[in-house]
Homo-oligomer: A and B are copies of this chain.
């Protein structure tokens, strides 16, 4: 019954990135992983081969075909993601971090907190289901809830909705969006759509702004 020793910090980061890169269903490529992890592709290949060789395997891997997570790998990834998102929520709520500051801190803490700590902060916050960016928090049983909201880029004039989630990690972008009031909970209405450049004119609260696809594809909305 020896509870499979916890993955190292490196392995946890690999699994987390693989999870994110494979959310679209397609395997993650060596190069993509290398870019996300800031590690050279050659090293990524090596690590992936190791993860695929573990028993039970954490990833599924075919040479030159990229990687996907196995069931075991996905559980491990969700554990880290739950830690990360709960930590972000907790740091914002109890220590006044802003949503563009929390990521880095959570990125390191996620690997060292105990399950006890995880439970305590979850309970202290009343078991939140989203982090400060609106990203869904996996349950304690390590199930990722299904995201119902749709990308802002999919909306068209006269549609209205509420911002649920902002999928961005970049500090600059987050500050910019906050300045626009484009944060979870914000009410928006589509005013115009420009089919050539995919720009949307969006009313956020009282302000109206034109947003490009690079932004509208990262904002997720619950239509109303």
The chain A residues found within 8 Å of chain B, CB to CB, are: 91, 94-97, 101, 104-105, 108-109, 111-114, 116-117, 120-121, 124
Contact = CB atoms under 8 A, between A and B. Distances in A.
Given A96-B120, A120-B96, A124-B95, A112 B109 contact: yes
Contacts of A112: 108-109, 111-112
Nearest to A111: B112
Nearest to A117: B105
Taking the full assembly, how many copies of this chain does it contain? 2
A114 B105 contact: yes
Contacts of A109: 109, 112-113
A82 to B, nearest CB: 17
Contacts of A121: 95
23 contacts: A91-B117, A94-B94, A94-B124, A95-B117, A95-B120, A95-B121, A95-B124, A96-B120, A97-B120, A101-B116, A104-B114, A105-B113, A105-B114, A105-B116, A105-B117, A108-B112, A108-B113, A108-B114, A109-B109, A109-B112, A109-B113, A111-B112, A112-B112
Given A104-B114, A105-B113, A108-B113, 15 more contacts: A91-B117, A94-B94, A95-B120, A95-B121, A95-B124, A101-B116, A105-B114, A105-B116, A105-B117, A108-B114, A109-B109, A109-B112, A109-B113, A111-B112, A112-B112
Contacts of A116: 101, 105
Nearest to A95: B120
A104 B101 CA distance: 27
A94 B104 CA distance: 22
